[in-house]
Structure 1
């Protein structure tokens, strides 16, 4: 089957890097993805995590759009509870003006952090909340398009007030709804939006969510039929042994998150190889290995194709999670670049 490939980037930070190094490495990775023929490149919004530097997707999107010529660039996603809808609409209207026809606005319902950080993000002014999520989506779609008219109370009584996100680009960003629960599948179907289930994050419930989305889908002005793709964590190397060695640091870090162990930057390959791992963490790592694609090129390409067939999609978005070795440059991610190269050589 013909299979398009895309990239989800959390801008991982290793113990050998500064966060500035990690950003430089991701910008280089995006340029490589553009050269290789990948379809889109998305940044995820996370906050206050030492291993993740993707706190501001719109800024990173602008940087990548300026350095690439073909890739669609977007958010995977903007966590809407942290932001006022008008702010999101204005940021992505500006991005669409910078890179016309190449901007994706992926929106999620989770805050992407802990309650303290969420409160700090909201402290500067009115923001959306989870209860108003559906209305906020509609507001963003209107504001980024033809605009909206609101009624305001003035000294002379009620009057209409026209609002539109500016700069007004020739087009509008393509809005996607992201989620890891049935709620998002129902809502995306109701609003006629493209939808992506976070298979890379949970690995469970993907089939059910996609069935809900497809069976309940209502055509909209911008989308006539359901549209979705699959997300998966991937580490691909020239040998299966090297792939596992490159994956282990990220797997260990994910296990810390799942077991409540204090988080830190991602270890190098060498440090992870000698790290002590308790039984609870080992169980989490083994479970993740069942869902991640960690393999040599031919086997990895075959498994990705089989996953796409299982969930009836023609696009797979990989989150390249290969860690670096101590001898490698700090402002590049050779392991992640190699993952993209090996998959592209066999699937694109």
Structure 2
């Protein structure tokens, strides 16, 4: 298939956003409803990110959210985008995802990342047990998880010559699809060397995209589970009936990202009206430049326009799937236990 013939499948990346006045319970309820809607619309997969100690993000525990979403859906693949492996013992990750595979056979994805998913203080709290924070062992930990998830399990070999079998579950009949996530040359090369599918986190940082994909594809080593490179991209997206509404719904997340990148204190996600009032007060030149820079890599507009842009984006980079992070904000009049703007984005893009 040539690049111009690609029609990308669509998937969802969910950070479970928390808006002003919304409880964690309401935010999670809204995301569960969104997962159900994505399932009904025929979207390919639904992944939850891992972030910690952020007022506007409730996706702290991907395995818990995956289990909840799996129980409410019947077709769509559910998974992590991703589990930040240095925060966890590899055996625990393998056991959690083996259990998820048993709950929803053939529908579980294990996306693994190397970043901490938070600030340095929280990173230290997450890694107080010591050995799990050994980032240098990340490649071997990824391999260990893949082995422990398999039917044969992994074998621990001791210097004395003894061996010990380790399995993530006693009698696996299948295993999750393991993906490596990243936004750097390191992650692309590691995924290639391990023969794993790879996702470039374009929604977070679009810098280095072309080089990462070229490295992954050119250095890919085929393995038992994957014969050729397999990759897709993520993107921040807002679709609405009108361009005016889409631009308005993009404002809350844009302003939060600007605060994050400029090191200012974070808060719950603004409503559209709060963001508009803040913008009307007049950002300084530096803030406006930052907002414009962030916005330049997003896909915001009417459903048909955004879909055409996503199709072209996929064709440009030779991928058959785009994972959408639906970043549409909410108006003050909209219910706290639902996310109409994000649901609208999925519906419009599905056609």
Q: Which category of TM-score, normalised to the shorter sequence, fits these structures?
A: over 0.9
SS at match of 2:70: helix
Which of 126, 141, 147 is 1:121 aligned to? Answer: 126
Cα distance 1:89–1:212, how it changes in 2: closer, same or farther (>3 A)? same
Select the residue among 219, 238, 259 that pairs with 2:262. Answer: 259
For 1:283 and 1:234, how far apart are their aligned partners in 2? 20
- How far apart are the structure 2 equivalents of 1:191 and 1:280? 42
Could you list the per-position Cα deviations for residues 263-312 of structure 1 after superposition, in whole angstroms to 9, with x for gaps in the alignment?
00110011111104332221111011111001011211111011001101
Q: CA deviation at 1:203?
A: 1.3
Unaligned runs of 5+ in 2: 1-5
- Secondary structure in 2 aligned to 1:127? helix
Q: Find 2:349's aligned residue among 327, 343, 346.
A: 343
The one of 329, 334, 340 aligned to 2:340: 334
Number of paired residues? 342
1:40 aligns with 2:45: yes
- Structure 2 Cα separation of the partners of residues 293 and 284 of structure 1: 17
- Specify which of 161, 168, 184 is matched with residue 187 of structure 2: 184
Could you list the runs of 5+ residues in structure 1 that have no partner in the other structure? none
Matched, 1:217 2:223: no
Q: Which residue of 2 aligns with 1:64?
A: 69
Q: State the secondary structure of the residue aligned to 2:296.
A: helix
2:85 counterpart of 1:80: yes
The answer for the alignment partner of 1:280 in structure 2 is 286
Question: What is the TM-score normalised by the length of structure 1?
Answer: 0.96
Which of 30, 50, 54 is the aligned partner of 1:49? 54
Q: Matched residue of 1:294: which SS?
A: strand
Report which stretch shifted further, 284-293 or 244-253: 284-293
Contact kept, 8 Å, 2:7 with 2:311, in 1: the verdict is no
Counterparts of 2:331 and 2:196, CA distance in 1: 41
Is the contact between residue 10 and residue 45 of structure 1 (CA under 8 Å) also seen in structure 2?
A: yes
Aligned to 1:162: 165
- Give the C-alpha shift of residue 158 in structure 1: 5.7
- For 1:311 and 1:52, the matched residues in 2 are separated by 30
| Alignment check: 8 A CA contact 1:94 1:167 kept | no
Cα distance in 2 between the residues matched to 1:292 and 1:16: 26
